[in-house]
Amino acid sequence: MKRDILSLFDLSSDEFAWVIDQALELKEERKTALMAPYCAGQTLGMIFEKASTRTRISFEVGMYELGGHAIFLTPQDMQLGRGEEIPDTARVLSRYLSAIMIRSNHHQTIVDLATHASIPVINGLSDHEHPCQILADVLTIREHFGKTEGLSVTWVGDGNNVCNSLILASAYAGFELHVAVPKGYEPDMKLVQQSKSAGGKIVFFDDPKEAAFNADVLYTDTWVSMGSEDETAARKKIFAAYTVNEELVAAANKKAIVMHCLPAHRGDEITDGVMDGTQSAVWDQAENRLHAQKALLLFLLNNKS
């Protein structure tokens, strides 16, 4: 039976651990330049409703390094852009491709595509979750600390799609998650309860400094990914106290790392000094998108778990 990864919880706890372990192995394998063609003869279709740097390049390079092929598509390149129904597109693509990765404005679009496709569908980003990003983030934390269990991770800023997936990851990875967001910008509370039911530990704070106290990881993301200029200006005022700056880093553990999933608005949610500083793990995160997604593709396409 085909598998879809639309949410982080579409993996079991054991499968999640397997993907992280496999990503570490694939990363080491890449250093030897002796990469096995695990997905030879297989093709990934990549549909992008939203612009992309890391998602597109990491998936495309990942399929190449696994011995397969990737095709870049936008709705404007396809009949989707002229009104073809998603179910019809899903059925046709299923006849050509081995899997589909879609980066969409609306989570329901991904759900509809997966419902009607007979091949695996991967959520490359939606307005609700970003599971591929969080797989790379957990890999990054594991590399820096040798573990994820028992750590303290603090999210500062907007309770967005990345925050939602990080909330789910806390249950599988075993870290305590502190969430500091302005009122009215909280993450999806249904996912919070889902994570807690699976063993996740999530604590909410009004004060970012309290949330950051003795944290092992500080994590933030853009406040203004979409919206009008007026909305952007309003959000900057609301989030002004939620910048990850040197003072906030000083409140964390001395060996803490700072994470940002990019692209960053330097000077807003994160300062230059922090992003380019010695405690920044931002570039490790970006690289690890490649390795985590290769492991996920291997899991879906070759049933290696």
* pLDDT tens digits, one per residue of 237-291: 999 999 999 999 999 999 999 999 999 999 999 999 999 999 999 999 999 999 9
Residue 3 included in any domain? no
Which residue bears the tokens 């579409």? Answer: 10
Same domain, 72 and 52: yes
CB 244 within 8 A of CB 271: yes
Q: Is 130 a catalytic residue?
A: yes
CB 122 within 8 A of CB 98: no
Same domain, 143 and 188: yes
Chain segment 106-129, per-residue pLDDT in tens: 999 999 999 999 999 999 999 999
CATH label of the domain that carries residue 195: 3.40.50.1370
Considering 4, 216, 221, 268, which one is annotated as catalytic? 221
Same domain, 15 and 117: yes
Considering 22, 39, 103, 112, which one is annotated as catalytic? 103
Residue 126 included in any domain? yes
Q: Is 206 a catalytic residue?
A: no
Q: How far apart are CA 302 and CA 75, in angstroms?
A: 28
Q: Is 289 a catalytic residue?
A: yes
pLDDT score, position 210: 98
Same domain, 161 and 254: yes
Residue 2 included in any domain? no
Q: Is 132 a catalytic residue?
A: no
Considering 133, 144, 163, 291, which one is annotated as catalytic? 133
Same domain, 229 and 154: yes
Same domain, 114 and 15: yes
Domain coverage including residue 65: 8-130+289-302
Considering 128, 142, 260, 289, which one is annotated as catalytic? 289
Q: How far apart are CA 103 and CA 122, in angstroms?
A: 9
Residue 255 included in any domain? yes
Q: Is 103 a catalytic residue?
A: yes
Count of structural domains within the chain: 2
Q: How far apart are CA 197 and CA 190, in angstroms?
A: 11
pLDDT score, position 231: 83
Same domain, 77 and 185: no
pLDDT score, position 225: 74
Intervals of the chain under pLDDT 50: 304-305
Nearest to 51 by CA among 86, 103, 99, 101: 103
